Structure 1
Amino acid sequence: MERSAAAAARFLGSVSQFKVYEDYLDSKVTPVDLFYLKSRDLARKLVEHGHKGTVLSREEFEEKKAAAQAAEAARSNALYNRSRPVFHIKFNLVRLRLRTLASAGKELKDNFLRALAEREEANRSGKMTSVIFIRDHNTLGQEVSGYIDYAHRLKTQDFEPYFSGKKQLMPGRSDLCYYNWKTQVSTSNSSPNFEVIYDDPNGLLFKNKRDKKILNVDPSSGPGEDSNRTFLQSDLYVHVVIYDHNIRTV
């Protein structure tokens, strides 16, 4: 039992060293792979599909990374509780939470970035799951639009470049929904937080996987129970809407 527990701890530790799933895949890509394939994305896909041995799926990676982070937080809390007064514990936990927020300390001049910053902590902690609708032009000048699971993106991407203005948040083919108006490429994917319902008579819907409630993105209808819709004027995008679904805790 002790050996198995130690092995599990080592495994979780090895997962926690990677910031995102792509870094985990890159750890299994060799220079020889890149030489012959000429594409890091293709090399990652070969690894992900098991062509270089057994690997974790994206969902398994995120679950194990979350477990590792929870275990580390529990160890830290136990250490604080043994060695420091209560007010020091609370103070350090607040500092730790602020350090994990990508928006902390950033000068946010655009309404959209400020709105994301206001929702970051709630989406990270699971109290809220926000869906972001963006319509704009990609780097090729093509008009694209889509719906992004904000909480999921926060877990799988580093948002510091977005909040610092070095990078622009855009919908992609792996998000909840994506459409390229030039090429007419359309994709939809359920996420850890939402199931995509695209064949309902009421139009596109997102079903929250935790409380099973429906988020309706039709502008002519209400957003649904425990949900809110916010239209934003942004200098960064043609069109932006944020749908917030609040998770009730019993």
Structure 2
Amino acid sequence: MEEEVAAGNDNIVTEFNTYEDFLDSQITSLDLYYLEDEELARQLVELGYRGSGEVLKREEFEARKQAAEASRLSKRSQQKTLASTGKELKDPFLRALAQREEANRSGKMTSIVFMRDKNSRGQEISGYIDYAHRLKTENFEAYFSGKKRLLPKPSDLSFYNWETQTSTSNPTPNYQVIAENASGLLFKNKRDRKILNVDPKANTPGDNSTRTCIDSTKYIQIVIYDHITRRKT
């Protein structure tokens, strides 16, 4: 029942561009004949004395109008920003990224991707990538369409070149790197301050976190750590 009412409200705010248009729709030619004042006729409709439709105050109409517009923009933005939409994804790694794209863009999840493979020079590299951060700073259309291959960079959370022994670590908007630790490399989520332990020997990666190994013929090794963010209520 509530859904039907909500749908009716949406119809009202989408059908009429302005509140005056909404009021005018309930004024008959007979009303205008007797009242001889369009503004007075509108006031009577607003007060519920005339008209057969729903009584709706200006503030409520405007609020619903804004909510409907925000919902429309949100849906359009989501469809526009999902780079994986409509792509034929045969590689298990790209499918795994696609499954997590919306949650990482919306902030429900912050995934860290561990990758080990060779760069264009044939050097073995490895690193930890903040997937949500990369989604906001890069166009993933090229990755999902297969035009580019996702690899760790020196600017990611952690990066290591096994040949040159170049090592870097950087904080991101989502994670703080804890490098000097007896348990090995740790990442601290900046939103809920939970610790993510990426040690494969650890019993668990941490609270609200999971560890998933991905088998892909395109990479030597891939592990995805998913952290579900729980905001304080």
Give the TM-score of the pair, scaled to structure 1. 0.64
Instruction: Indicate whether 1:169 and 2:137 are aligned.
Output: no
Q: Is the 8 A contact 1:80 1:89 kept in 2?
A: no
1:38-93 deviation per Cα after TM superposition (whole angstroms, max 9, x unaligned): xxxxxxxxxxxxxxxxxxxxxxxxxxxxxxxxxxxxxxxx9995389x5x975664
Q: Give the one of 102, 110, 113 matched to 2:91.
A: 110
| Aligned counterparts of 1:80 and 1:98: Cα–Cα separation in 2 | 24
Distance across 2 between alignment mates of 1:226 and 1:163: 27
- The structure 2 residue matched to 1:237, chosen from 207, 219, 227, is 219
Q: Whose helix proportion is higher, 1 or 2?
A: 1
Aligned partner of 2:65 among 70, 82, 88: 82
Residue 167 of structure 1: SS of its match in structure 2? Answer: coil
1:118 Cα offset (Å): 0.6
Q: Which amino acid aligns with 2:131?
A: Y
Rounded Cα–Cα distance in structure 2 between residues aligned with 1:135 and 1:236: 10
The percentage of counterpart residues that share the same residue type is 60
Q: Whole-Å Cα distance in 1 between the matches of residues 157 and 185 of structure 2?
A: 11
Superimposed CA distance per residue, residues 70-119 of structure 1 (whole angstroms, 9 cap, x where no aligned partner): xxxxxxxx9995389x5x97566434312210111111001100000011
Unaligned runs of 5+ in 1: 1-77
Distance 1:240 1:145 in 2: 10
Q: Deviations over 1:141-180 (max 9, x none)?
A: 0000000000100110000000000000000100000000
CA RMSD of the aligned region, Å? 2.1
Q: 1:92 to 1:186 in 2, by over 3 A?
A: closer
> Which amino acid is the alignment partner of residue 232 of structure 1?
I
Alignment match, 1:100: 81
Residue of structure 2 in register with 1:134 after alignment: 115
- Give the count of matched residue pairs: 171
Which of 110, 131, 149 is equivalent to 1:150? 131
> Whole-Å Cα distance in 2 between the matches of residues 80 and 113 of structure 1?
41
TM-score of the two chains, using structure 2 as the length reference:
0.69
- Maintained 8 Å contact 1:81/1:89: no
For 1:81 and 1:192, the matched residues in 2 are separated by: 34
Distance 1:80-1:114 versus aligned 2 partners, 3 A rule: farther
Q: CA deviation at 1:242?
A: 0.3
Give the secondary-structure state (helix, strand or coil) at the position aligned to 1:248.
Answer: coil
Q: 1:179 corresponds to which residue?
A: 160
Alignment of 1:49-60 (within 5 A): none
Q: Distance in 2 between matches of 1:240 and 1:153?
A: 17
Q: d(CA) in 1 for partners of 2:224 and 2:62?
A: 39
